Chains A and B, each alone.
Chain A
Amino acid sequence: MKLLTCPLNGPRNISEFACGGELVLQPDPRQLTDEQWADHVFLSNNTAGVVREWWCHVASTYWFIAERNTVTDEVIRTYPASEIFKDRVDFSNESA
């Protein structure tokens, strides 16, 4: 059985988690051409090596970051997203 250490809930069976994919900062869609947006949506680094990813502990809906080696299948580190995202995202200008 594989374990993943959730920063909130401790080590849990990996079947309790869902992988949210590589951590990619979303570009502003209003600044992009259709082609650039398609690239953002579809293209993937698909790295063979260490990646930084979003993971969710499904039972508690807690999202966090994991650093994982996709070749050796080892989790190097898991930590709360607040380590990377210091500021709240401002959505106030996006109503239009």
Chain B
Amino acid sequence: MVLRLLRYGLRNNYVPRPDFRFATELKPSYDVVIIGAGGHGLAAAYYLAKDWGITNVCVIDKGYLAGGNTARNTAVIRSNYITPESVRFYKESVGLFQTLSEDLDYNMLYTQRGQLTLAHSDATMRTFRMRAEVGKHMGTNIEMVDRKQIAQIVPSLHMPEDHRYPILGGLWHPDGGTGRHDSVAWGYAARAMDRGVEVHQRTEVTGILRDGDRCVGVETTKGKIRAGNVIQAVAGMSSVVAKLAGFRLPIRSYPLQAMVTQPLKPFLDPLVSSSGLHAYVSQTSRGELVIGGGSDPYELYSTRSTLDLKESLIGHTLELFPFLAGVRLLRQWAGITDMTPDYSPIMGASPLRNYWLDAGWGTWGFKATPVAGKRMAETVAHESVPDILEPFALERFKTFNLVNEMGATAASH
């Protein structure tokens, strides 16, 4: 890939390479229909085709390719969770990300620069110790660091001792990193299309076709489509689509706001986050600072930004980097996050047979794109849920076996 990039760069004329071959007509039936052409849906389509040879697949979306939360997240990739189930799952995702640009022949701008999470209280320090030990046990790179080490990892960090929220220590996760979120979805889409997968944009699902307790297809604004299996991967709209399928989910939708500053010279290599301050910051490869924080305080399906939340987010960021006070904001946005009670996803079987869920991705969906796609594809190919996804079954809310990751979602709540 590197050589080809170099060769392309040295050419006199740059021939545009068409990435996407969109199908024009919907067929009356497919082996698998995937609702939602975001990262997760497209990844599932790709792995269905690549790993399992299932290419009679159609991905439909009411909007455009990767225009929902795939375009709105803050592109953090990490596996420093607290339960072994989660660490195992997200670790597999980090592993897939490491070779994804090569595998898809599509540059994801993936950089593993490490993620530093800051503790401002003894309680946070205790959970960090636990996360570090669980992470080491599960074979990830993670350790506790003290103030001196933090100052070495992020020299620009403001850390006086008589601060309102003094930094007591941190959780250093060298495996953490970032990538270009759009490219991840585009790469999966392009390679899935190469293998015969169809993607239909502006095709909204209006109903789910059932035969008894089985799902047999979907009804869309462009007509009925029969399907052997259906995957729902619609993030913030999970409850709305599930209602069409006839069931409710333990999900509540909240906006999550983020923003980007004007580009600055590179000064911040790792990703820095603070759960106590509800803020996280990273610098993109073009120099912009991506700033994200907590969700809005009440349920909403609107993606408008609000001044008060932006203000508090900026205030908290300035506690960490006061010298950014004069920097201008370039863009701001919000995405609709599908929050679950335990801050873990819902994957696998639904109350409707042959209707599979990839939902409840709240504020932690981007980092799981490859593994969620790969394992959902496996689930559908076998029509049974693999071991690694079992802890995240919808059933857990009936048996009270929750996978609590509230503390490890970093800045969320």
State which of A35-43, A76-84, A88-96 sits at the interface with chain B. Answer: A35-43
Could you give, for residues 386-400 of chain B, a 1 whenever the CB lies within 8 Å of some chain A CB and a 0 otherwise? 000000000001111
B252, B302, B308, B398: the one contacting A15 at CB < 8 Å is B308
Contact B249 A48, beta carbon cutoff 8 Å: no
Closest to B338 in A: A46
Interface of B is mostly: loop
A44 touches B308 (CB 8 A): no
Instruction: Name the interface residues of A13-28: CB closer than 8 Å to any CB of B.
Output: 14-15, 18-19
Check if B27 is an interface residue, CB within 8 A of chain A: no
**A2 with B239: CB separation less than 8 A:** no
- Interface size class for chain A? 20 to 34
A44 touches B306 (CB 8 A): no
Digit string of B25-41 for contact with A (CB within 8 Å is 1, else 0)? 00000000000000000
Question: In chain A, residues 27-85, which have Cβ atoms closer than 8 Å to a Cβ of chain B?
Answer: 34-35, 38-39, 42-48, 51, 53, 70-73
Q: Assess the B298–A42 pair: CB atoms within 8 A.
A: no
Known: A15-B308, A38-B398, A38-B400. A44 touches B301 (CB 8 A): no
Residue pair A46, B304 in contact (C-beta under 8 Å): no
A70 is contacted by which of B237, B299, B341, B399 (Cβ under 8 Å)? B299
User: A73 — nearest CB in chain B belongs to which residue?
Assistant: B302
**Given the complex, which residues of A lie within 8 Å of B251, measured CB to CB?**
44, 46
Least CB distance from B62 to A in Å reads 13
Interface pair B250/A43, CB less than 8 Å apart = yes
Give complex CA distance A47, B412 in Å.
22
Q: Is the CB of A46 within 8 A of B239?
A: yes
CB distance from A7 to the nearest CB of B (A): 18
Is B249 a contact of A46 with CB atoms below 8 Å? yes
A interface residue numbers (CB < 8 A to B)? 1-2, 14-15, 18-19, 34-35, 38-39, 42-48, 51, 53, 70-73
